[in-house]
């Protein structure tokens, strides 16, 4: 029974981490900075678990490789906020494509 629910639960936690991160990224409030880092940590941990659940299919997806490329580029982007937000939007769109492409 656990195996049936493991991937959907980890996927839901991944989306929760995204919501925590994205919901605080536009705010400059110091109190929300901790939530931003917690959300990022949750996304990284659950993302790794999702890849490990089905590595062949995940790596075979061009959407996954595009997502990794965009995430790698985001590490180095120090541009205007609109560019960073647009890149995060592209990461989310590529993430949705993993299930289909």
> DSSP class of residue 99?
T
The domain ranges of the chain are: 1-53, 55-101
pLDDT tens across the length of the chain (101 residues):
567 899 999 999 999 999 999 889 878 898 899 999 999 999 999 999 999 999 999 999 999 999 999 999 999 998 898 998 899 999 999 999 998 88
Residue 79 CA to residue 56 CA, distance in Å, equals 34
Q: Specify the 3-state DSSP secondary structure of 19.
A: helix
- Give the pair of three-digit tokens for residue 12: 């839901």
The pTM of the full predicted model, rounded to 2 decimals, is 0.85
Residue with the two structure tokens 């595009």: 66
**Cβ contact 50:78 at 8 Å:** no
Residue 26, classed as helix, strand or coil, is coil
């Amino acid at each position: 029974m656990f195996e049936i629910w493991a991937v959907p639960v980890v996927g839901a936690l991944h989306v929760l981490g995204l919501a925590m991160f994205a919901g605080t990224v536009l705010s400059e409030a110091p109190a929300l900075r901790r939530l931003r880092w917690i959300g990022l940590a949750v996304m990284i941990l659950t993302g790794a678990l999702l890849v490990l659940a089905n590595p062949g299919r995940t790596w075979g997806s061009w959407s996954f490789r595009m997502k990794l490329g965009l995430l790698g580029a985001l590490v180095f982007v120090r541009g205007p906020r609109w560019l960073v937000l647009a890149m995060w939007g592209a990461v989310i769109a590529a993430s949705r494509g993993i299930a289909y492409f």
